[in-house]
C-alpha cells in the first residue's frame, strides 16, 4: 500500500524559533519516517509582508539549512522552495476562480493582519488560496499545522470538495494533523500570545540560532508572575510557559518539575532552563553552521527537492487543466 502523504510549510519571515521547533519541526522529524513527506519553504507567501530582497534570499537558504539541522532528512523527505515549483501559482489561479470573496473575508488571520494597515495588498487576501494550492497540488492526506491555521485548512478542503463536485474526483481531501501532545509555546514577554517568529520584539522569542549569551539574557528577562511558588497554573502564564519549554525539551513531566523546584526561587528554574536550552540548541547550531557554509550541498538539496516536487505537481496540474477545459499543449 502506498504511504500517506504529509505536507507542511513555514513562511520565511522572521527567525525560526523554539516555538517552530516544538510546534512543527520536531513533529515533522518523526512523521518523515512514517509518511511520504514534503516540507516547503513558502517564499511566495512571504512576499505578502514587506521584505528586503537580499535578506529574503539569505533567510530562505537559512531556513532550508535549519530544517536539515533540526533533523529533516533530504533523503527521506522532499524539501522544496515554493517558488521553484511554478505549478503552485498556476493551480492557485484555477482555485481563485472557485473561491468566493466572502470565504476570504471571513479568514480571521486576514482580519488580524490587515486590521491596522493603511494599504492591504491583495496577496494577503488570497494567501489562503495559495496555501490550498500548496496542499492540493501534492494530494496531501495530512497537513501538520498549528491551531491558527485550521481555518485555512478548512478552506483548502472546501475548495477541493467544490472542484471535485464541479468537475469530477481530482483532489484528495486533506485532513489537519494537530499533534495531541506538545505544548503551545508562548511569547516570553507576553505569555498570553503565541511565540511567533515574525514578532518584531525579538525578546519574545528564542531563535534556534540565538547565541548562548542572548538565550541567557532573554530567559532572564522573560516575564514571570507574582508569587514565588513554582507551580504550573493558568494564573501563572509566564511561569507555566517556562515550565512548558522546560518539559518539552527534557521530556520530563510537569509534576516532576514542580516537585524538583519546591521551595526554590524562579531564578533557580530560569538558570536551569537556560542551560537546558543552550544544551539543546548547541548541536543544532553546530550542524547549521556546517550546512549553511556548504552552498553546493544546499543547492543540490533544493534542485533535487524541486525536481521531485515538480514531478508530482505536474501530474495534478495537468489533470486540473484537462478537467477545466484547457486545450492540451
**Which residues of this chain interact with ligand TRP, rule CB under 6 A?**
7-9, 11, 42, 45, 131, 134-135, 143, 145, 149, 152
- 11 vs 224, which CB is nearer to ligand TRP? 11
- 40 vs 273, which CB is nearer to ligand TRP? 40
Query: Nearest distance from residue 35's CB to ligand TRP, in Å?
Result: 14
Place of cell 471535485: 164
* E strand intervals along 125-229: 142-144, 175-177
Alpha carbons 10 and 28: distance in angstroms, whole number: 12
Alpha carbons 64 and 297: distance in angstroms, whole number: 11
Query: Nearest distance from residue 220's CB to ligand TRP, in Å?
Result: 29
Q: Is 197 a catalytic residue?
A: yes
Q: Which of 197, 218, 236, 270 does the annotation list as catalytic?
A: 197
Three-state DSSP class for residue 80: strand
- 208 vs 273, which CB is nearer to ligand TRP? 208
Cell output for 143: 497537513
Query: Nearest distance from residue 135's CB to ligand TRP, in Å?
Result: 5
Three-state DSSP class for residue 144: strand
Query: Nearest distance from residue 151's CB to ligand TRP, in Å?
Result: 10
Q: Is 271 a catalytic residue?
A: no
Q: Which of 4, 150, 194, 216 does the annotation list as catalytic?
A: 194
- 8 vs 77, which CB is nearer to ligand TRP? 8
Q: Tell the burial category of 260 from Cβ atoms under 10 Å away from its Cβ (0-12, 13-18, 19+).
A: middle
- 65 vs 107, which CB is nearer to ligand TRP? 107
185 φ, ψ to 5°?
-85, 130
Query: Nearest distance from residue 320's CB to ligand TRP, in Å?
Result: 18
Q: Is 113 a catalytic residue?
A: yes
* E strand intervals along 128-256: 142-144, 175-177
Q: Which of 4, 76, 113, 217 does the annotation list as catalytic?
A: 113
- Render the burial of 289-321: b for 16+ CB within 10 Å, e for the rest: eebbeeeeebeebbeebbebbbebbeebbeebb
Catalytic residues, which ones? 113, 194, 197
Amino acid at each position: 500500500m502506498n504511504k500517506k502523504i504529509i505536507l507542511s510549510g513555514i513562511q520565511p519571515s522572521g527567525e525560526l524559533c523554539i516555538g517552530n521547533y516544538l510546534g512543527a519541526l520536531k513533529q515533522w522529524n518523526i512523521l518523515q519516517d512514517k509518511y511520504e513527506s514534503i516540507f516547503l519553504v513558502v517564499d511566495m507567501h512571504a512576499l505578502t509582508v514587506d521584505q528586503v530582497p537580499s535578506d529574503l534570499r539569505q533567510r530562505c537558504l537559512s531556513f532550508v539549512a535549519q530544517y536539515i539541522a533540526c533533523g529533516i532528512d533530504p533523503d527521506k523527505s522532499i524539501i522544496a522552495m515554493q517558488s521553484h515549483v511554478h505549478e503552485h501559482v498556476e493551480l492557485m489561479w484555477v482555485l481563485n476562480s472557485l473561491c468566493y470573496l466572502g470565504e476570504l473575508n471571513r479568514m480571521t488571520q486576514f482580519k488580524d493582519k490587515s486590521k491596522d494597515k493603511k494599504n492591504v495588498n491583495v496577496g494577503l487576501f488570497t494567501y489562503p488560496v495559495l496555501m490550498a494550492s500548496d496542499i492540493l497540488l501534492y494530494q496531501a492526506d495530512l497537513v501538520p499545522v498549528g491551531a491558527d491555521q485550521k481555518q485555512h485548512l478548512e478552506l483548502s478542503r472546501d475548495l477541493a470538495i467544490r472542484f471535485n463536485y464541479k468537475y469530477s474526483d481530482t483532489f484528495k481531501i486533506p485532513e489537519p494533523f494537530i499533534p495531541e501532545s506538545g505544548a503551545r509555546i508562548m511569547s516570553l514577554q507576553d505569555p498570553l500570545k503565541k511565540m511567533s517568529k515574525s514578532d518584531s520584539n525579538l525578546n519574545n522569542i528564542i531563535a534556534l540560532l540565538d547565541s548562548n549569551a542572548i538565550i541567557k539574557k532573554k530567559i532572564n528577562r522573560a516575564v514571570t508572575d507574582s508569587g514565588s511558588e513554582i507551580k504550573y497554573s493558568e494564573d501563572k502564564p509566564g511561569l507555566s510557559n517556562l515550565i512548558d519549554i522546560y518539559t518539552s525539551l527534557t521530556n520530563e513531566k510537569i509534576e516532576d518539575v514542580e516537585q524538583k523546584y519546591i521551595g526554590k526561587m524562579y531564578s533557580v528554574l530560569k538558570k536551569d532552563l537556560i542551560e537546558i536550552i543552550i544544551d539543546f540548541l548547541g548541536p543544532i547550531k553546530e550542524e547549521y553552521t556546517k550546512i549553511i557554509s556548504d552552498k553546493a550541498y544546499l543547492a543540490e538539496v533544493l534542485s533535487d527537492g524541486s525536481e521531485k516536487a515538480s514531478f508530482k505537481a505536474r501530474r495534478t496540474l495537468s489533470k486540473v487543466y484537462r478537467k477545466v477545459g484547457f486545450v492540451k499543449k
